Amino acid sequence: MQDPETERNAARRRWMGILARASGAEIAGRLAAAPALPAHRRLRGPETGLVMARGRQGGDGAPFNLGEVTVTRCSVCLEDGRIGHAYVAGRDARQAELAAVLDAALQDPARQPALLAAVVEPLATFQAARAAKDAARAAATRVQFFTMATMR
């Protein structure tokens, strides 16, 4: 049995990830069919900057700087004091702001079910389908190297 805090964080991590992978236009398209978002104030941003992405080879390799990623971040505050944050890759300020407002609104138990059903779940389905299609296209070009091993 997990404690409720961990469960809430896992749910929040999931919707933040889905919103970060959706473009501003996709989120806005879904919002048209959703209940209206509450009014918000910008606390910070949206502003674009660079984040150093670090990588490591395998599980025990030494960390190294892979390169800089353009990241846009935004933090907003709703009238009830709930705060939403968004960090998204790229320069889409509209996406960052919408994602931050949604993050704040999704923390409200009264708004959460409707917004999850109208915005987050359709985006998740769409992203899963897109990932499966990309994987299928990549799989068609896969080369099996076992023949090379048996030639000798």
Partner 1 sequence: MNAPLTPGFAEPVLDAQRCFRAVLEAMARPGRVQALPALPEAPAPLAPAAAAVLLTLADADTPVWLDAGEAAAAWLRFHAGCPIAASAAEATFALAGGVPPALRDLSQGTEEEPHRSATLLVQVAALAEGGGWRLTGPGIEREHRLLAAGLPAGFEAEWAANHARFPRGVDVILCAGDRLAALPRTTRLEAG
Question: Which residues are at the interface with partner 1 (CB under 8 A)?
Answer: 41-44, 47, 75, 77, 81, 83
Least distance from C-beta 77 to partner 1, angstroms? Answer: 6
Terminal-to-terminal C-alpha distance of the chain:
55
Least distance from C-beta 140 to partner 1, angstroms? Answer: 47
Count CA atoms closer than 13 A to 55's CA, side-chain side: 7
Q: Cα–chain-centroid distance for residue 149?
A: 41
Least distance from C-beta 6 to partner 1, angstroms? Answer: 18
Closer residue to partner 1, CB minimum distance, 87 or 126:
87
Closer residue to partner 1, CB minimum distance, 22 or 74:
74
Q: Write the DSSP string, 41-68.
A: EEEEEEEEEEEEEEE-STTTSPPEEEEE
Closer residue to partner 1, CB minimum distance, 84 or 122:
84
